[in-house]
Every structure is written in structure tokens, then in C-alpha cells.
A and B are shown apart, each in its own frame.
Chain A
Amino acid sequence: MYLEIKDVCKAYGSYTALDHVSLSVPDGSIYGLLGPNGAGKTSLIRIINRITHADSGEVLMHGKPMTDADIRNIGYMPEERGLYKKMKVSDHILYLAQLRGMSKADARREMDEWLDRFNLGEWRDKKIEQLSKGMAQKVQFICTVIHRPPLLIFDEPFSGFDPLNADQLKREILRLRDKGAAILFSTHNMSSVEEVCQEITLINKSRVVLQGTVGDVRQMFKKNVLEVTTADGQSFNYSLQPGETMHDAISRLNNEYELTGFKEILPSMHEVFVECVK
């Protein structure tokens, strides 16, 4: 496990932001942190980043309690993006890379590679304010990953990207996962959760209400509905009767129709989310 959060509590005055929250993010995987606005996701992310501290509970990295020195092993892209508008692209990336402990030469090499990958090479000497929003977002992404952190935290990474750029970004995130990074991925975009996340934790009103792999969670919320296709081209949904097993249902349907296909319908993450939170 790269990151483990154990029983973390956090209160602001009388308001409880996190109530005994635990989760673990393995290496080389993308972990979805879900929840409605105000559920406590940002509070948790800030605690992992050591911007604030938990009132109780532990944050472990590779089994050891996290220290201030560990923050250079984290790359964090907050939902509200921000860059110094008056700074040059290259200066900005190098500044954040150096703050995270990279040497300038090292940072420069890595930056060149990333700028080329995003076709931003010729923009390196331009000021941030001269960039389009999409380009600025890519610069922000580079700033997040340049120091090759083993733990990446993305808060709504795709917001503000057009579909083409969002796909590019997704490819890069998957590539980083394949290289072994542990990625914590906070989003409201449930279709992207289905596409990229292996495991999720859903927080609602400061508590963990759902946890597990995406497949398990969808199984858990299934409504026992079959999508049935027949030889005459008909297609309909069939809900299992109370007490009826899948096996019973299929043999019954098989007697009535000439079946060409049947498939269990699993709820989308969107439906799971809505059901948990409403």
C-alpha cells in the first residue's frame, strides 16, 4: 500500500469535516475519492498534503507515518487551478519543481520532455497570461507531475478541458499509473471513474459510506435486471422476481423465447452515487 489513511478525524470549530475516515491507495492504481460538494474530500486531501493536520488518526506512506519530508513525494493538482500570471511558463515550472526539491538541471530536463509531449515547446518563454485556458491547465499538470512523485492527487483533473485534451490527459494519467504511481482521483464525473478507477471511496457528510473496487460496488447495487435479446430482434429488460435466481429466470425465459443473448445490467457509478448520497 502506498498511502494509508487510518481513522482520520478533523473538525473546524463545531463542524466535523471528517469522521473516522480510512482508506488505502495501492501503488500502480487509480483510486477514486468520491462525494458530493462539502462532503470532506478537500479536507482529506489537505491533510494528506500536510496543508492542515488531522485532529486524530494517521496518514501512512508505505506503512510509516508521514513526515514533512514526504510532501516532495506528492504531486497535487487542486480543483481550483492557479498559476502566477506574470511568470514565464518555464520559470513557473522550474520554480515549483525546485520547491519540491528537484535540482534545476534535473527539472529542466524533465520539463523539456513534458513540454514536448504536450506540444508546448514554443510557449516556454511566454507568460502564463498569454496562454489559452487549456494550455495553462497542461502547464499546471506538468507542475504537478514534474518531480516524478510516487503519489499523485488530482482534484477534478478533467474540468475545463475540451474532450480532445481530456483524452490526452487521461492517457498521461494512465501512463503514470502504469509506471507505478499511486493516484488519488477526486471527481464528480462518474463516467471517468468507471473508465479509470480500480477502487473507490465515497464520502458523504464527513463519513465513508461506500468503499471497494468499482466492480464490487456495482455488483452491490445491482437491481437484478437482465437485458434480454431474442432471435426476432426484440430486446427488453427483465427484472428478477422476488426469490427468483438468475438460473431460474434464464430457463423460464428460454422456454418462452428463442434467446440470442442475455446480460446482467449493472448500475452505473452515476446511479450508485445518486443512490448513496440522496
Chain B
Amino acid sequence: MSRIGIIIKREYLQMVAKKSFIVTTLLVPILTIVVCGVLPVMLSNVKSDEKKTVAVVDLNPGAPFASVLADTDEYIFNNVEMADGAQTMAEAGLHDFYASQNDGGSGLYALIVIPADFEQTARVNIYSDKSVAMSLENTVNGSLRGILRDQRIASYGIDCLATIIRNCDVRLDVRNVKWNAKGEETLSSADLSMIIGLVLAMMTYMFVMMYGAMIMSGVVEEKANRIVEVIVSTCKPIELMLGKIIGVALVGFTQLALWGVILSVVGAAFGIGSMVSNPSAIAGMAGADQAALDASVQALDQAAGGGSLGRIVQMVLSINFPLIIGCFLLYFAGGYLLYASVFAAFGSAVDQQSDTSQFMGPVMMVMVFALYAAMFSMENPDGPLAFWCSMIPFTSPIVMMIRLPYDIPFWQLASSLAILFATAFLILWLSARIYRTGILMYGRKFTWKDILRWIKQ
């Protein structure tokens, strides 16, 4: 094995064997599944056993509206009979009335007052000494709106008016139809494209940050405990630096692949439903797992009888995954190489971990800017901000992820990638020059001026 191979092997094995790597690799997909899949389902199943009592005062003669409020799983509606309701309440004061109803700790949750002019104003007040749950509002709204609507329709005395209105209530069905290369029609979705772009951009950002920081701390560790002097007496500094960068990259790809496998296995088990709410599973699903995807898609299609689920599936399939994943990996590699070189160079310029911040700051600012640019590019993926930021190599690995699902012109992709890789190799070369001097320099804080001098040396 060549020297650089030996170095890559050590970096890789050391990092993969770390507890933190194993924990993150297992924990992240589990957390994603829990947060995106299991938790909402669980939460929606959590209902309190205790039913809450709500008093209803209907000030209309005969209390026609109070009776509409039927008890639910959560609420019991008590119709409070009152002869001269309005007057009684006005005399006692609303709050005292509420208190009197709540007397003896019967636990009145809220008081609903349906005023006498309800039919005209369509206004209902819910009183309580606490914030009222959304579900009560929804229940009241659902029940009372329906009856008021029916009453108003009936008041016009026109036959079949209810049906007419129903027919006029148009709900538009907007379908994005995209022609594929063969001119066949496929369904696409702007929302889905956006989600996929965002997930890819976030992943690139997180990975470059995470693994860049790992490289930096690795370089600083070697320098701080002086092993670097022994290592560079056996190999060239550039070999050590490249070995570290490549070794850590392989760790990153291993982690991505493991996440892809874990998420797609779980995804296939949970069905496509959880996958749609959890697009990282789709992103992580490399070609190797296409079979699993297809299988779950078919199963669900049958189950859903080709309904709206079928449409979602078709939208998912309309996304050009091979292109997106291919480009994602290329941008990921280019962006990583660029930033990892910068991190390695800065790591070599400091004596200990705590000194890294002066160089980290500017890098962080650029990365955060890239992330913001990506967010704003979502609004207009073909606009000037999106275009220029997907050309500038320091932002393109993140911003281009947003644009990828929107079928950008080939020349843009090609030139952006060319610029990215050209810059990455230039930065790598500069970093190597800084690195070979920096790792042997001890004793004081180095400034940007020193670093420029090292490059020129």
C-alpha cells in the first residue's frame, strides 16, 4: 500500500471506530424517523381521558343553537337554561356568572355565549379563565357554521339552493405536468421539489461543517501533540493532509450510505407515506435501494386504489433522482474538498483547539451566507441570486441543491461544477503550502499576514 493509502486507512478506521461516529450514525436516522414519522402519529393518538365540561348559554329564544353542539370525545356541552338570559347575565356580570357555574369545583372548562343576534353577526364568544384549546374552537366553529349556513340558505326560499351552492364551490386541482425526455407526461410538484432541494442543501451544509471541523481538530491534535514531526519525517506533508481529507470524506460517504440503507429499510417497512413526510429517506436512497422503493410504491398504489397516494407516488417518481443524486455527490465532493482544505490549512496555523476561532469565524460567515442564499433562492430558483450563488464556488454546493430539482440548463450545471472543482483544487494547492509550513510552527498566534507569507515561501 502506498503511504497515502496507509494514512487514509488509519484516518478512516480511527474515525469509524469512534463511539461518537457509531452513535451519530445510528441516532440520526432513528431521530429522523421518530420526529417525522412516529411522533406526529403518537401525538395525535394522545387524547386526555378526562372530558371537559363546557357551559353553553344560548340567548336566542328556544335555544336553537345550543342543541346543535353535540358532545364529543373531549367535550361535554351543558345547555344552561335561562329564562331572561341576557338580563340575568348582564346583572350578575359575566365573570361572576361563570364563577357561579364553576362553583363546587365541578371544573367548568369554558363558557360559550351565543348572542341573540347570532344569526346576523355569526359571532360567538368563548369565555374561560384559561387559554382555550384549539380543538374547542374547531368543534364550535364546525357545528355552528353548518347550521347557520343551512339556515341562511333556507331563508332565501329557493329550491335546491344548497345543491347549487355546493356545485359552485369550485376547488381547483392544479397539476404540474412535466414532459420527460421522451415527451411523455409526468406529474411533478413544486412543493416536493422545494423539500428535496432544502433537504439536500441542509445535508451539504451540515456535512461540510461537521467533517470540516473534524479535519481541523485532527490537524490541530497532530500538531499539538507533536506527532506531526514524526509523520512528516516519513512522508510529505501534502500526503498527510490529503490522506486526512480523503479518509474523513470516506467516513462521510460511509455515514451517508448507512443512513440511506437504514432509512430506506425502515421507509420500506413504514410505507411511502412516512417517506413523503421524511424526504431525507428519499435523498439517502441511492440507486441500490430502488427496488425497495418500487416494491413499497406498488404495494401502496394497490392499497390506495390509485387515488391521491398514487399521484404523490407519481410525483416522487417524476423527480430525476439519478441526476439529483449524481449532482449531489459531485457538489458534495467539490464543496467538501474546498472547505476541508481551508479547514486543514487553518488547523495547521494554530497551536491548540481554542485558538481556531479567529480563522473559523470568516469561514462560518461564508457558509451561513450560502445557507441563507439557498433559502431565498427557493422563492425564485431561476432568479439572479440563485444563478450567481450557484456559480460562486463557495456557495454553489449549497445553493445548487435548491435548484437541482428544477431542471436547470446543462451549461449552468457544467460551468458551475467546473468552477467549483477548479477552485477546490486551487484552494487545495494553497492550503498545502500553508499546511507544510504551519504544522512545524509553534509558539505564537499566527495572523493572516503570516499565512500569506507561508504561501509565498
- Interface residues in chain A, defined as those with a beta carbon under 8 Å from any beta carbon in chain B: 13, 46, 49-52, 68, 71-72, 74, 76-78, 80-87, 95-96, 98-100, 143
Cβ of B235 within 8 Å of any chain A Cβ, yes or no, is yes
Q: Is the CB of B440 within 8 A of A99?
A: no
Which residue in B1, B222, B225, B440 is a CB contact (below 8 Å) of A51?
B440
Residues of A within 8 Å of B233, CB to CB, are 49-51, 71, 74, 76
Residues of A within 8 Å of B7, CB to CB, are 99
Cβ of B95 within 8 Å of any chain A Cβ, yes or no, is no
In the complex, what distance in Å separates the CA atom of A84 from the CA atom of B231?
11
| Interface mask (B223-266 → A, CB under 8 Å = 1, otherwise 0) | 00111111111111000000000000000000000000000000
Query: Secondary structure of the A side of the interface?
Result: loop
In the complex, what distance in Å separates the CA atom of A250 from the CA atom of B440?
57
What is the chain A residue whose CB lies nearest that of B6?
A98
Answer whether A82 and B234 are a contact pair too, CB < 8 Å, given A87-B14, A95-B10: no
In the complex, what distance in Å separates the CA atom of A49 from the CA atom of B233?
5
Residues of A within 8 Å of B440, CB to CB, are 46, 51-52
Q: Is the CB of A86 within 8 A of B14?
A: yes
Which residue in B1, B18, B234 is a CB contact (below 8 Å) of A71?
B234
Q: Is the CB of B10 within 8 A of A96?
A: no
Residues of A within 8 Å of B18, CB to CB, are 86
Residues of B within 8 Å of A81, CB to CB, are 226
Cβ of B3 within 8 Å of any chain A Cβ, yes or no, is yes
Which residue in B6, B222, B230, B234 is a CB contact (below 8 Å) of A78?
B230
Q: Is the CB of B234 within 8 A of A80?
A: no
Residues of B within 8 Å of A95, CB to CB, are 6, 10
In the complex, what distance in Å separates the CA atom of A29 from the CA atom of B230?
23
- Interface residues in chain B, defined as those with a beta carbon under 8 Å from any beta carbon in chain A: 1, 3, 6-7, 10, 14, 18, 222, 225-236, 440, 453
Residues of A within 8 Å of B1, CB to CB, are 98
Residues of B within 8 Å of A13, CB to CB, are 453
B105: shortest Cβ distance to chain A, in Å? 63
What is the chain B residue whose CB lies nearest that of A83?
B227
Q: Is the CB of B230 within 8 A of A82?
A: yes
Residues of B within 8 Å of A143, CB to CB, are 230
Q: Which 9 A-B pairs have the closest CB atoms?
A: A82-B226, A82-B227, A80-B226, A82-B225, A49-B233, A99-B234, A78-B229, A76-B233, A98-B6
In the complex, what distance in Å separates the CA atom of A98 from the CA atom of B234?
10
In the complex, what distance in Å separates the CA atom of A78 from the CA atom of B440?
12
Residues of A within 8 Å of B3, CB to CB, are 99
In the complex, what distance in Å separates the CA atom of A78 from the CA atom of B222?
14
In the complex, what distance in Å separates the CA atom of A100 from the CA atom of B6?
10
Residues of B within 8 Å of A87, CB to CB, are 14
B244: shortest Cβ distance to chain A, in Å? 12
Q: Is the CB of B225 within 8 A of A96?
A: no
A-B contact pairs, 10 of them (CB 8 A): A46-B440, A50-B233, A76-B229, A76-B233, A78-B229, A82-B226, A82-B229, A82-B230, A84-B222, A95-B10
Interface centre among A83, A84, A86 (most CB of B within 10 A): A84
B357: shortest Cβ distance to chain A, in Å? 23
Q: Is the CB of B14 within 8 A of A99?
A: no
Q: Is the CB of A51 within 8 A of B230?
A: no
Q: Is the CB of B227 within 8 A of A100?
A: no
Residues of A within 8 Å of B228, CB to CB, are 82
Q: Is the CB of B235 within 8 A of A99?
A: yes
In the complex, what distance in Å separates the CA atom of A213 from the CA atom of B235?
34
What is the chain B residue whose CB lies nearest that of A76?
B233
Q: Is the CB of B230 within 8 A of A96?
A: yes
Q: Is the CB of A84 within 8 A of B232?
A: no
Q: Is the CB of A84 within 8 A of B234?
A: no
Q: Is the CB of B232 within 8 A of A51?
A: yes
Q: Is the CB of A100 within 8 A of B226?
A: no
In the complex, what distance in Å separates the CA atom of A78 from the CA atom of B234?
13
Residues of B within 8 Å of A83, CB to CB, are 225, 227
In the complex, what distance in Å separates the CA atom of A246 from the CA atom of B77?
126
Residues of A within 8 Å of B10, CB to CB, are 95
What is the chain A residue whose CB lies nearest that of B235?
A99
B21: shortest Cβ distance to chain A, in Å? 12
Residues of B within 8 Å of A46, CB to CB, are 440
In the complex, what distance in Å separates the CA atom of A143 from the CA atom of B230?
9
In the complex, what distance in Å separates the CA atom of A74 from the CA atom of B253?
37
In the complex, what distance in Å separates the CA atom of A13 from the CA atom of B226?
24
Which residue in A49, A71, A74, A84 is a CB contact (below 8 Å) of B227?
A84
Q: Is the CB of B230 within 8 A of A100?
A: no
In the complex, what distance in Å separates the CA atom of A76 from the CA atom of B235?
13
Residues of A within 8 Å of B229, CB to CB, are 51, 76, 78, 80, 82
Interface centre among B3, B228, B233 (most CB of A within 10 A): B233
Residues of A within 8 Å of B226, CB to CB, are 78, 80-82
Residues of A within 8 Å of B225, CB to CB, are 82-85
Residues of A within 8 Å of B14, CB to CB, are 84, 86-87
Residues of B within 8 Å of A49, CB to CB, are 232-233
What is the chain A residue whose CB lies nearest that of B13?
A91
Residues of A within 8 Å of B222, CB to CB, are 82, 84
A67: shortest Cβ distance to chain B, in Å? 13
Apart from the given pairs A72-B234, A78-B226, A87-B14, 16 other A-B contacts in the complex at a CB distance below 8 Å: A46-B440, A51-B229, A51-B232, A76-B229, A77-B230, A86-B14, A86-B18, A95-B10, A96-B230, A99-B3, A99-B6, A99-B231, A99-B234, A99-B235, A100-B234, A143-B230
What is the chain A residue whose CB lies nearest that of B228?
A82
A125: shortest Cβ distance to chain B, in Å? 13
In the complex, what distance in Å separates the CA atom of A143 from the CA atom of B229?
13
A113: shortest Cβ distance to chain B, in Å? 21
In the complex, what distance in Å separates the CA atom of A34 from the CA atom of B229?
20
Residues of A within 8 Å of B235, CB to CB, are 99
B231: shortest Cβ distance to chain A, in Å? 7
What is the chain A residue whose CB lies nearest that of B223?
A82
In the complex, what distance in Å separates the CA atom of A85 from the CA atom of B453?
32
Residues of A within 8 Å of B227, CB to CB, are 82-84
What is the chain B residue whose CB lies nearest that of A144?
B230
What is the chain B residue whose CB lies nearest that of A153?
B233
Interface centre among A49, A83, A99 (most CB of B within 10 A): A99
In the complex, what distance in Å separates the CA atom of A251 from the CA atom of B233?
59
A48: shortest Cβ distance to chain B, in Å? 9
B262: shortest Cβ distance to chain A, in Å? 26
B242: shortest Cβ distance to chain A, in Å? 14
In the complex, what distance in Å separates the CA atom of A99 from the CA atom of B236?
11
In the complex, what distance in Å separates the CA atom of A78 from the CA atom of B229?
7
B440: shortest Cβ distance to chain A, in Å? 7
In the complex, what distance in Å separates the CA atom of A24 from the CA atom of B234?
22
What is the chain A residue whose CB lies nearest that of B441?
A12
A14: shortest Cβ distance to chain B, in Å? 12
Residues of A within 8 Å of B232, CB to CB, are 49, 51
